[in-house]
Structure 1
């Protein structure tokens, strides 16, 4: 008997497998295909020659915890205690799993805003808790009236994702004000703030939970070095939470991975000193603008992209196919792999949209656009 009877192979795995099978250009799974910074490679080479190959402390390499505290202070003016309020995780997904497992109990309710990352629901179900999935508005902003209507005494947590995958939407100041007003009514609700694309925003800067002092005592933030530094395969991220919450999260974390890869932690610790995270948004904004310019002559209607390295496009005005069939057709007939949005919705809601990943080199984006022009 399965603990997750309705969970099957993820859409990311399915589309990447199809891309390989049909030798399609893969704009589906969210990973860059351009080289990692040579400075980071050189740092890794140096550390592989040192005797640093054994376990690090469970919470993380102490100098790296200090660097994260400084990064948080510099980026958001929030002072955190590196020894009690930061945890290095084996990627953001593991951090999300540990936080939900530690803080959510059987029969609790957890609010998720759809379209949503697929790991949220499965982790909640493994707690014998109930995911409450609420669709965002048509422009992918939060529907605060709908959220308020589903909050009750059983609500234990609300999961937010900002900047948002898959839509590229970022929250406004007004969204945070609405969230704070709502949480005032439910003092026991915890906020899990997934901010893995925090340094990849464009015209409007990302507003972080770290800038909302009123919510610090009840929030867990999720960050990703993999996303920020284009090293998704390293699977390294971190959580920030108050000591009271972090004590419980660490209890779960220690039995999942105990400690995270030592070479990765040493390397990231050095790399933070030579990289400017403030410039990451500009780098990806050039990618976004280039891809959007290439797509102007295609049939697709592009939604605004305010952050992340994803571009959502609508095709409903020229095809009635469901989004999964349409995405598969793009692979088999046109040689481009994308991600349909329906797997991000409860019940597979089909909004006739697909997601492109533009974290690719220019040659890849050009070739993909040339194929999409044939539709």
Structure 2
């Protein structure tokens, strides 16, 4: 389907604000296919990572990618930006980077005709639609914190003046998990601003074979933009309109509340392995992500499966395992798997289980 056809479908699909149809679900599904086709010209494999990035984008969330060097994290993000007619900015985070280098700064400007001097704000690279914060853990906490207001409020304040960021606004950050010298681990407060933490894994043999074949030849693949800012905003609004049942909300809430050490009804293994659990943002992002995933799959209702698929990227950076778990090689992903396995999926089982009655009552 062409970009023009997608735009026609979007325009013809406008209906009453509270209603959704199969055609509405098809709009985001068509956009996913177009973006995937363009990304496939450059990126081999990594389909789960691409899907989670797109869910974050259409949910108005931000995504943190973690993986060893050479897994095409930066290439994936820059190629994604090329599939959209949006302003793209790459910020290479280094130990000497200052907050003003990211947000911008005020300079004194003189009017030559009058000699009058005044302050003028010079926008930094943060003023774009898609931001690649490359190797974000290589810059000190002071500079990392310069992103906090931008990611949450969609604005930056310099001096006493707030400056609104463009819409849509999407931060994709990368970090390397294996090098510790010269790095500054992201504070928990800033990690919580990211909707997802996505692990980028090594490719399979066949995928790596294709990477080697493609990248050592002379072929050049031109990526075409398929969506503009207005269309992305419409699709983001569409995600918010997806209905979600009370049972699915309770299921998402039960997963998150089971990560909170010491609360009523929390499994024993959580008390033994977890230092602290996830906050309310986790529930919000599970629901929003579930809505976006449903539409990307061509559905216009959220299923339990959507919540289960997103449990790890939403929760893994919001709950921290304790020293005993680390010494036994237990990760937050292992704990999340056990929580999902221990949580009933049907409404009747969830409401009758005495443990969950305590969780919902606390």
What band does the TM-score fall into relative to the shorter chain? 0.3 to 0.5
Q: Which has the higher contact order (CA 8 A, sep 6+)?
A: 1
The structure richer in helix per residue is 2
